[in-house]
Amino acid sequence: QVQLVESGGGLVQAGDSLTLSCAASGRTFRAYTMGWFRQAPGKGREFVAFITWSGGTAYYADSVKGRFTISRDSAKNTVALQMNSLQPDATAVYYCAARRGWGTENPADFGFWGQGTQVTVSS
């Protein structure tokens, strides 16, 4: 069984930075792509970024490109999402997800999910 636990969410002001972390356990994640998604109230789950576990290739949604950075520590089985210049439209529950194989923007392609962490950006 795979477990993903997110941490690092909170309340920040517009323009602030925040780093989310995801700790993975239960499997060898060498062949897994790790992703971050978010879901705002009343909206569907939205792709944010993914990173391949072994190759370190990262891919971002256009809406966060240049401001968010996804990174991973394979030795510790952790994935981080550094978010800079946050704006109120970034307010959402952020989820860590994992899937075997290459990355995709479709949340339905990810089989493992964390419980989510709330990020609130005030104006």
Beta strands in 2-42 (DSSP E): 3-7, 10-13, 18-25, 32-39
- Position 29 scores a pLDDT of 67
Position 22 scores a pLDDT of 96
Q: How far apart are CA 97 and CA 4, in angstroms?
A: 7
Q: Measured on CA atoms in the order 114, 106, 21, 100, is the torsion positive or negative? A: positive
- Which of 121, 101, 117 lies closest to 109 in space, CA to CA? 101
Q: Tell me if 61 sits within 8 A of 4, measured CB to CB.
A: no
Residues of the chain with pLDDT under 50: none
Q: What is the DSSP letter of 75?
A: T
Query: pLDDT, tens digit, for every residue of 76-102?
Result: 889 999 999 999 999 999 999 999 888
Cα separation values, 102 from 4, 20, 53, Å = 18, 22, 9
pLDDT above 90 covers a percentage of the chain that reads: 78
What letter represents residue 55's amino acid? Answer: G
